Amino acid sequence: GQNIDQPTEMTATEGAIVQINCTYQTSGFNGLFWYQQHAGEAPTFLSYNVLDGLEEKGRFSSFLSRSKGYSYLLLKELQMKDSASYLCAVLDSNYQLIWGAGTKLIIKP
Amino acid sequence: GAVVSQHPSWVICKSGTSVKIECRSLDFQATTMFWYRQFPKQSLMLMATSNEGSKATYEQGVEKDKFLINHASLTLSTLTVTSAHPEDSSFYICSARATDSRDRVSDTQYFGPGTRLTVL
C-alpha cells in the first residue's frame, strides 16, 4: 500500500528552527509537495521537490532524498504565524497525490 | 500566480436540500480539479477527481449520486451535494492542478479557500 508518515504534532519556540520529517512509500514517485494549512483554512502551497537536494525559499527549505524515501521541511526564525499544520504529499506514478496526515506545529513565545 | 476561488465560502441549509459549490481557476486553465472534504482536526480526504469534459472519478466510499460533479470548462468545476443531511456537514475544498509551467509549479494542486457546509 501507499503510505506517508509524518509526526502528529511538534512544538517549537519563536525565533528557533524546526525540522518536520516525512517518509513515504508509494507506487512510483513524481515529486513531493509541502503545504501549510492554518486552522479553518484551505492548504497553501509551500514547496515542490522532485530531485534530491535542498530547495530554499526564504525562511522555509525543503529537502528530498528519493533513495531513502525521505523529505523534511525546515522552518527558520520561527514566527507565531507559523503555527499551523504542515502537510506532506507525494505524487505517485499515476500522478495521484497521496497525502500525509499532517504535522501540527505549535509555536510558543 | 495560481488563484483558485470557491463559492460560497459558507452555507447553512436544511436537511434534504441540495447545495452547489463552485470552484474556479482564475488565472490558469485546469483540465483536472479535485474535491476534498475535511472534518475537524482530521486529514484532507479526496472525494473525487474532476476531469474537464469527462466523468469524474470517485474515491471508494464516496457516493457519486449524492455528490454530483460537473467540470464543464477548463476553469470551472461544480460539486452538488444532493439531499444534504447533517452528517454531510464539513469543510469542502477544491483544488486545481496547474499543467503549465509559466509562473506556477507544474502538477501542483492549488487550493480554493474552501466552503464550510452546515446542514441543520
| A39 Ramachandran zone, left/alpha/beta (phi>0; psi -120 to 50) | beta
To the nearest whole angstrom, how far is the Cα of A17 from the nearest Cα of chain B?
25
DSSP chain A: --EEE--SEEEEETTS-EEEEEEEE-SS-S-EEEEEE-TTS--EEEEEE-SSEEEEETTEEEEEETTTTEEEEEE-S--GGG-EEEEEEEE-TTSPEEEP--EEEEEE-
Q: Distance, in angstroms, between B15 CA and closest chain A CA?
A: 23
The C-alpha angle with vertex A24 and arms to A81 and A34, in degrees rounded to 5, equals 25
Average pLDDT (A66-82) is: 97
Smallest Cβ distance to B109: which of A30, A40, A97? A97
Pairing of strands A70-75, A60-65: antiparallel
Give the residue from B25, B102, B109 showing the smallest Cα distance to A89.
Answer: B109
Q: What is the pLDDT of residue B42?
A: 83
Compare all CA atoms of chain B with the CA of A9 and give the residue at the minimum distance.
B41
Verify whether the Cβ–Cβ distance A42 to B105 is below 8 Å: no
Sign of CA dihedral B52, A88, A35, B68: positive
> Under an 8 Å CB criterion, which residues of A touch B?
30-31, 33, 35, 40-45, 48, 87, 91, 95-97, 99-102
Least confident of A60-74, A95-109, B65-79, B94-108: B94-108
Radius of gyration of chain B (CA): 14
Per-residue confidence of chain B (120 residues) as pLDDT tens digits? 688 999 999 999 999 999 999 999 998 888 889 999 998 878 889 999 998 888 899 999 999 999 999 988 889 999 999 999 999 999 999 999 876 655 556 678 899 999 999 999
Quick count: other Cβ atoms within 10 Å of Cβ B85?
Answer: 11
Provide the mean pLDDT of chain A: 94
Kind of pairing, strands A9-13 and A103-108?
parallel
Chain A residues touching B34 at Cβ < 8 A = 97
Chain A nearest-CA distance from B66, in A, is 23
Contact A45 B44 (CB under 8 A): no
User: Which class for B39: exposed (0-12), middle (13-18), buried (19 or more C-beta within 10 A)?
Assistant: exposed
CB contact under 8 A, A45 and B114: no
Size of interface A-B (CB pairs under 8 A): 41
**A70 CA: distance to closest CA in chain B (Å):** 19
CB pair distance less than 8 Å for A45 and B2: yes
| pLDDT reported for residue B101 | 54
DSSP assignment of B85-106, as one string?
-GGG-EEEEEEEE--S-SSS-T
> Judging by DSSP bridges, how do beta strands B45-51 and B19-25 pair with one another?
unpaired
Distance CA A75, CA A24 (A): 20
Distances (CA, A) of B28 to B35, B69, B71: 18, 20, 15
Answer yes or no: do A43 and B111 touch at CB < 8 A. yes
